Amino acid sequence: YEVWGLCTSMVVQDDAGQVWHGRNLDFGLFPAFDFKHLEWTMTEALRPLVTNVDVQKGGKTLYKSTSYAGFAGVITGLKKGGFSISVDSRFDNKFDIGLIKWLLGDHKYQELTFTVRKTFEDPSITNYDQAFNFLNTTTMIGPSYIIIGGMNSGEGAVITKEQVTIDVMSLADEIQKGSFFVLETNYDNWKPAPFFDDRRNPAKECLNQLTAKGINGFTGLYNVLSAKPNLNKLTTYTTLMNVKTGAFEAYRQHCEGICSFW
């Protein structure tokens, strides 16, 4: 996941102070395209493998995750009463040097998806603040966006990493500015989205039209994430999470008709 992926993640607070977390997982850009069906070959292969996992210990649920069958890391997950996490790819100009060093035996930095898994499985990490602090201070092998949601009002953030954290956009700060959400695709939030892949501004427009009062929990999030271009030819699934109630839903997604290729 340090190499390539395209996604949308959002943490939204409604007018009652409830925090909702939604994400699209877009994956499969290259190496092959099915020109007959106008589909990315890898994306077609991944959709049937989408599964929800209930990770248990001693008969009790530790956390829930949406994943691909056979994948051991965590890219989307929820710990009821604690926190929710999704990760989005980030691109830089360092040509994956951290990953190359890791493959050559330099393991002092951490792989993203296994670090997220550790966050859910570490018994000392039980709430939003602990999860945020752990992820914020861990040095990764490559760039990423880590989107985290919590149970209480204002608990939400986008952590932007090279290998270390270079920026945090918090839900509490955005609420102070008059917004009610944090949103991340695959580009730094302080820079304009590129013209060839602007999923950020359409998603923002949809959320602002809904308003905090009209988000209506999973319904609003699902509608935003199912609207083009956030729903595109690379989208494999949508997951919706609420930390307070433990509600967790995921849907295989397929963009029918005329759709963006990413």
Using 50, 70 and 90 to split pLDDT, how confident is the model at 61?
very high
pLDDT tens digits, residue range 96-154? Answer: 676 777 777 877 889 999 999 999 999 999 999 999 999 999 999 989 999 999 999 99
Which tokens go with 195?
């013209």
Which 3 state secondary structure label does DSSP give 65?
strand
* Dist. CA 154–CA 165, nearest whole Å: 20
Using 50, 70 and 90 to split pLDDT, how confident is the model at 13?
very high
- At residue 101, the pLDDT reads 75
pLDDT at 6 over 60: yes
* Dist. CA 132–CA 147, nearest whole Å: 9
Torsion of CA 156, 157, 163, 165, to 10 degrees: -120
* Dist. CA 230–CA 203, nearest whole Å: 7
Task: Determine which one of 7, 206, 255, 259 is catalytic.
Answer: 7
pLDDT tens digits, residue range 195-238? Answer: 999 999 999 999 999 999 999 999 999 999 999 999 999 999 99
- At residue 219, the pLDDT reads 98
The residue-averaged pLDDT of 16-21 equals 98
* Dist. CA 175–CA 31, nearest whole Å: 41
pLDDT, the chain, mean: 94
pLDDT tens digits, residue range 76-97? Answer: 999 999 999 999 999 876 656 7
Q: How many CB atoms lie within 10 A of CB 248?
A: 23
The residue-averaged pLDDT of 228-252 equals 97
pLDDT at 65 over 80: yes
* Dist. CA 250–CA 205, nearest whole Å: 23
Strands 19-26 and 6-13: antiparallel
- At residue 94, the pLDDT reads 65
Note if 259 is an active site residue: no
Which 3 state secondary structure label does DSSP give 141?
coil
- At residue 1, the pLDDT reads 52
* Dist. CA 25–CA 59, nearest whole Å: 29
- At residue 91, the pLDDT reads 86
Q: How far apart are the first and last CA of the chain?
A: 16
Please list the helix, strand and coil fractions of the chain in percent, rounded to the nearest 5, in that order: 25, 30, 45
**To which residue do tokens 């106008």 refer?**
38
